[in-house]
Structure 1
């Protein structure tokens, strides 16, 4: 069963509108977590679409534009590093997906089923939380691509403001080089997740 066939399995008894939700950026030391929701037309399929982590940047960028053009609707939500520190990354991811879903509902978009990448949301709409959902459902995979590309582009803009961290290259992830730069320059509170272990440890060292 391919990703579209999985989504189509929910399009029965007059049901048509499947909403998929996912996030990008749980692991990075800085920047936002970005969540996306998407409702696809039942006829839409592109065999290149898969979990965004399995695609190269060029393919993701191409699919990003196609998905936005072809989707019935989509929503991209940024949750800041400060909110992540306040409520933790799991709840920040949940908040982002919930915000996207609530926006669909506020816009009176009909949704027959909600599919998430292993995340429960508050809704009266039937919901299925899937392990490895971005490799199972077309809608979730599309949301994954929207979130990933939007976040990568945001980090490239941050790199122009904070070039010392090479964020355009590492996207905030804890690469060896990024950790070396973080140790050299220290974490900027404006963009870093102060609750994350490596950042917290460096801040404590700087304080003493």
Structure 2
């Protein structure tokens, strides 16, 4: 069985998950709900209603990618502030008692969910700004799974132009096909020309008259 080879990008993704899970264990469940709601609800709302909520952004830039990212940042901050205020208000009214160890377990689960959202958003953004022939998003071990989740996440966006703008750039020629083409050319150059076989039959003497 071949050993799994991790690229630098794989270690970045792994570091994101370890960071958020560790932070979730440290903070617990309730101190992470607000950032999680801001990440998740912010993306859902901006994917469906960014033009209705922020029509002025279309005048700032003609790039749908820039408009979407700007709308998401604005909505993330707004959602974070609103949920923080609501959380503090509910905390004064509702008292929830939970054992510390169970709170840390739930915090780790929520941290994993936050890491997944962040990793997918970063992967989506990198796919739109990196060169099509960049090996970073082609050879990593986690990329096939990230590509599937990113494609599903992108389908939530209502605007087709934004969905196309946020798609991962594809090279004009697939890397595998390009490698096969180069290998076939090198093999054709290395093959020597086969010598013509000499006839082993003896030369026939001319007929005697």
Q: Which has the larger radius of gyration?
A: 2
TM over 0.5: no
Structure with the larger helix share? 2
Structure with the larger strand share? 1
**Could you tell me the TM-score, scaled by structure 1's length?**
0.31
